[in-house]
Amino acid sequence: MSLISFVTRIHFADRVLEDALPEEMEKLGICRPLIVTDEAGERDDCLDRLFDSLPALCEPSHLNGFRPKVMTGQIRAVSRFYSKNRCDGIIGFGGAVALDLSRLIDARSHLITIPTTIESVGLGPIGGAFAAAEICNPRNPSVVLCDATLTVGASAYATAIAGMDTLTHCLESYLGTAFNPPADGIALEGLRRAMRHLARAVNDGNDIEARREMLAAALNAGLAARKGLGGIDAAAKALEAQAGLWGRHGALNAALLPPVLAFNAPAVGDRLPVIREALGVPTGGDVASVIADLGARLGLPGRIGSLGLCKADLRRAAKAAAADPANQTNPRLATAEDYLRLLQEAC
């Protein structure tokens, strides 16, 4: 069975795009969908597969080519296009930009998200590409279709940064302050899968088992993120905005993890042994070093000094990180001065 009911309807299976999309569109009464895609959704044969899977009498409209960063005006323009073309449902297809944008259009209509990366499945907080937009109340999709065969072909670097983002989202969801035992279990399982399969997915883009496991980890991250995230996510989004890294969310996570985890350590001591077990780290081993070493093997930066940001840039990033919603669920609430110190330690 490919159907999971948790938060929303979720299908998870290879080639489930062709199997489940027509059935779900009929069930939801979608005949005139607006299809929103980004670069990841237009890779290789992904878009052809989507259009070939639409019901015969379907009359789709298509908005494509969305790139980071997304501005408020773009969101409004898409919403106007939706109304003007009398669409009756939305399909977000691709990476985080397309999936997150689709969640901000006409909350009254049904939404289907279909990821083609291991970065996001269209659940959880809105990503860093929307830092310049006015975001309010992103909704959950009516249906999520997770098909690992759509993620084959992504570059090694794109897989590395997406996978590291997934891994740290699971880590931070588990460590977050909110009380949600089911989400804790989901986060730990996602963390376990990501640690064991990320390097394989990066090293061989055609390793379908590794891709499937990483897509499962991304699903876990999205479901667990209902607890909230933490300081790594807050600092990463703020730094990306200062450095203009709109299309590389997750690239800085490995560099930020050691200082942020050290800052949080006094508040999470009872949870670290469980994380060590999930990651396969020996008793007493250093979680931050293990994940940082994985980042280095994947070619991710170990420090942020190479961004060339001045102290004023770091101050602006620290202020933004302190104001980010993810900071509210960090194990220790950090001030702007705390974030400035953490960013300086990561340089």
Task: Give the whole-angstrom CA distance, residue 205 versus residue 215.
Answer: 13
Together in a domain, 263 and 330: yes
Do 136 and 243 share a domain, yes or no? no
How many Cα atoms sit within 13 Å of 22 on the Cβ side? 12
Same domain, 111 and 238: no
DSSP code for 248: -
Name every residue whose Cβ is closer than 8 Å to that of residue 53 and which is 6 or more positions away in sequence: 17, 18, 21, 22
pLDDT of 210-240, one tens digit each?
A: 999 999 999 999 999 988 999 999 999 999 9
Of 150, 175, 192, the one marking the end of a domain is 150
Q: Is the peptide bond before 69 cis (omega within 30 degrees of 0)?
A: yes
Residues 13 and 85 in one domain: yes
Provide the number of structural domains found in the chain: 2
Q: Do 185 and 81 share a structural domain?
A: no
One domain, residues 101 and 195: no
C-alpha span between 92 and 170 (Å, rounded):
23
How far CA 31 is from CA of 26, 79, 84, in Å, comes to: 8, 18, 15
- Inter-axis angle of helices 287-297 and 272-279, to 10 degrees? 40
Per-residue pLDDT at 1: 41
CATH code for the domain of 271: 1.20.1090.10
Are both 132 and 241 inside the same structural domain? no
Task: Let me know whether 121 and 162 are in one domain.
Answer: no
Which residues are 308's β-sheet partners?
none
Q: What percent of the chain has pLDDT over 90?
A: 76
Give the tens place of pLDDT for each residue, 119-150.
899 998 886 666 555 666 778 999 999 999 99
Q: Are strands 89-94 and 33-38 parallel, antiparallel or unpaired?
A: parallel
Q: What CA–CA distances, in Å, run from 249 to 162, 203, 215, 286, 299?
A: 7, 20, 17, 25, 15
pTM score of the predicted model: 0.94
Least confident of 28-32, 63-67, 114-118, 341-345: 63-67
226/278 same-domain check = yes
pLDDT of residue 133: 57
Q: Of the residues 100, 135, 150, which one is the last residue of a structural domain?
A: 150
Whether 133 and 203 map to the same domain: the answer is: no
The residue with greater pLDDT, 180 or 198, is: 198
- Specify the pLDDT at position 273: 93
Summary mean pLDDT of the chain: 91
pLDDT tens for residues 262-299?
Answer: 999 999 989 999 999 999 998 888 999 999 999 999 99
**pLDDT tens string 73-112:** 788 888 899 999 999 999 999 999 999 999 988 878 999 9
pLDDT tens, residue by residue, 28-38:
999 999 999 99
Dist CA 274 CA 211 (whole Å): 25
Last residue of a domain, which of 98, 121, 150? Answer: 150
> Distance (Å, rounded) from C-alpha 105 to C-alpha 84?
13
User: Which range (54-58, 133-137, 153-157, 331-335) has the least confidence?
Assistant: 133-137
One domain, residues 195 and 140: no
Answer yes or no: do 247 and 340 share one domain: yes
The CATH number for 17's domain is 3.40.50.1970
- The answer to whether 43 and 69 are in contact (CB under 8 A) is no
Task: Specify the DSSP element, H or E, that contains 340.
Answer: helix 336-346
C-alpha span between 6 and 240 (Å, rounded): 32
Structural domain including 295 reads 156-346
